[in-house]
Amino acid sequence: MKAVIYKKYGAPDVLELKEIDKPTPKDNEVLIKIFAATVTSGDVRLRSSDFPPLFWLPARLIFGLFKPKKKILGHEFSGIIEGKGRNATKFKIGDEVFGTTTMQNSGSYAEFTCLPEQWKHGVIDLKPTNLNFKEAAALPIGSMTALFLLEKAKISEGKNVLIYGASGSVGSYAVQVAKYFGASVTGVCGTSNINMIKSLGAVKVIDYKKEDYTLFNGKFDIVFDAVGKTTKSKAKKVLKKDGVFISVKMLTKEKREHLLRLKELAEKEKLKPFIDSCYQLEDIVSAHEYVDQGHKRGNVVIEISQ
């Protein structure tokens, strides 16, 4: 099968398309034919070993001190069940599924992967019926991160929420999730993304190229840093006295219950993945180069199989 591997940390050109053996599912695993994957911030960070100084050594000890332990990147996917082990009973052959690999065995930059049906580090479920494979692949991680952090901040109806970096993957989902809960959303993004953020449900958009959000004439219950590029000290300038600051730099937990709730929202058309661009697996280097520029809107998808 075709797969993209990396044997060393570095720029996008460390990614190589290779022919490797097709995996065989263990007793508790399913074999998934992958139709689509994405380029997440986690993929970029693992490829480049771009970890914060405080966490650099612990991260390298986990993921590989001198070279990557796991050779295939890709944290989210969609596809179909093509095979399964004798103890795997949750899915049927031919089921359309989506979820996260969380680099459990290997990632989703491959034509096939094997994953346990249920395990504590990742989630798989039937694909939302109204999403195509590209949209389904782009749903899990950004939306689960947004939901987890907003619930941590006790999102509820009537609250005023500011989302910094609203045009990225997590930010674009955070706008929609906050709106679903009945919050009033203000997004912060660049000039070219203002209409996009309004279309997702923001009632006001601050253009960071023209205005410093910390000088905004208003106070918020929640400030959500969706890109890890602002600080709590800055956010305090626009937070209410009992307001909450949350950031993608916080630890999050992927839970099946979150994915099921987000799948339900997607099927009710309350949540829609925003896809910036699509690349073929053969063009994975170009996809990573584009994401490295830091200007992607929503999600970048990798098409693997038809």
Give residue 11's pLDDT.
Answer: 97
Give residue 109's pLDDT.
Answer: 97
- 6/294: higher pLDDT: 6
Q: 66 pLDDT band (50/70/90 cuts)?
A: confident
Average pLDDT (10-18) is 98
Domain ranges of the chain: 2-139+273-303, 141-247
Q: At what angle do helices 169-180 and 140-152 cross, to 10 degrees?
A: 50
**8 A C-beta contact, residue 235 and residue 169:** no
Q: Is 199 exposed, middle or buried (0-12, 13-18, 19+ CB in 10 A)?
A: exposed
pLDDT in tens, 126-140: 999 999 999 999 999
Q: Is the per-residue pLDDT at 113 higher than 90?
A: yes
Give residue 247's pLDDT.
Answer: 97
Rounded distance, CA 28 to CA 84, Å?
A: 8
Give residue 305's pLDDT.
Answer: 82
Q: Is the per-residue pLDDT at 121 higher than 70?
A: no
pLDDT in tens, 218-263: 899 999 999 999 999 999 999 999 999 999 988 787 678 889 999 9
E strands present in 74-228: 76-84, 96-100, 112-116, 124-126, 160-164, 184-189, 204-207, 220-225
Average pLDDT (195-214) is 96
Q: Is the per-residue pLDDT at 65 higher than 90?
A: no
Give residue 105's pLDDT.
Answer: 65
Q: Is the per-residue pLDDT at 298 higher than 90?
A: yes
pLDDT in tens, 31-57: 999 999 999 998 999 999 988 777 788
Average pLDDT, the chain: 94
pLDDT in tens, 68-101: 988 999 999 999 999 999 999 999 999 999 999 9
Give the right CATH number for 141-247 from 1.10.150.120, 3.30.1300.10, 3.40.50.720, 1.20.120.10: 3.40.50.720
Average pLDDT (256-277) is 94
Q: Is the per-residue pLDDT at 119 higher than 70?
A: no
Residue keyed to tokens 């674009």: 172
Positive or negative, the Cα torsion across 53, 58, 63, 65? Answer: positive
Q: Is the per-residue pLDDT at 197 higher than 90?
A: yes
Q: pLDDT above 70 covers what percent of the chain?
A: 97
Looking at domain 2-139+273-303, its CATH architecture is Alpha-Beta Complex (3.90)
Here the contacts of 53-58 (C-beta below 8 Å, separation 24 or greater) are: none
Average pLDDT (268-274) is 96
Rounded distance, CA 69 to CA 27, Å?
A: 24
Give residue 253's pLDDT.
Answer: 76
